Amino acid sequence: MTEQVPAAPAGFPTGHLAAHPLPPGIAGALGLTGYQLLVDVAGVGAGRLGQQAFLLVAPEPDPNAPDPGTQISLHLKRLKDEQQASAFTQLAAELGYQRLSGYRLTLTREGLRSRVNVLNPATGAIVLEIPDKHAGLLGGMTAARALAAVRSLHPAGPPADTQSPQVLRQVLLALALRDEATSGAEAAELADRALALAQADRSLDPPAALEAAKTEES
């Protein structure tokens, strides 16, 4: 097993994960061909096919680093309910948000799947490990527990640079998905409206732009 450590973040274009899908060989071997991508923030996403849900992590867009390909983690073969599926979407968005804010994601192969290590580059410490498989009935790491752990992390550096419209939209999308009552489609629409408002009024930070978009909707 080889740990793949990406270079420092070089920026994540919108749709980075969609442009780097899970390799066909892995998707076929795991029976995930034709999966649906539920969210894509900074190259981190949630995938779903029927009752299966999982995390996807694409490499950082560094042309000077080797490309390990998109990898799958926290694979759950049988969803209990839609709330459990929503936890995967929120977790992916939160990991992407933390990636934009300074944390790095390193991947360690575990067969066809990978363990995700959340690394603070300021200290070199791994602050959270997300396993390749979702926990069973006896406990362990679940999407909901991983989500709570990621949200509790202290900032690894300055906030994401939202001067780029592509980065700003991804930040807005991640923040919108923190509301459990907001679906992925609704969060995307809200992020688009908030982006337009933030570009029209540069005094609005991302949370304020989201609130303004919600007020505009109502």
- pLDDT above 70 (res 159): yes
Q: What is the pLDDT of residue 158?
A: 81
* Per-residue pLDDT tens over the stretch 23-52: 999 999 999 999 999 999 999 999 999 999
- Confirm if 73 and 54 have CB atoms less than 8 A apart: yes
End-to-end Cα spacing for the chain? 51
% pLDDT > 70, the chain:
89
pLDDT computed for residue 6 by the predictor: 37
From residue 54, alpha-carbon distances to 103, 143, 160 in Å are 21, 9, 25
Calculate ∠ Cα 138-140-142, nearest 5°. Answer: 110
pTM beyond 0.85, yes or no: yes
Cβ–Cβ under 8 Å, residues 89 and 46:
yes
User: What does the block give as tokens for 185?
Assistant: 């489609």
pLDDT (tens digit per residue) in 62-93:
666 666 789 999 999 999 999 999 999 999 99
Can you tell me the mean pLDDT for 135-150?
A: 86
Q: What are phi and psi of 141, to 5 degrees?
A: -80, 120
State the pLDDT confidence band at 201, using cuts at 50, 70 and 90.
Answer: very high
Cα separation, 66 vs 45, whole angstroms: 21
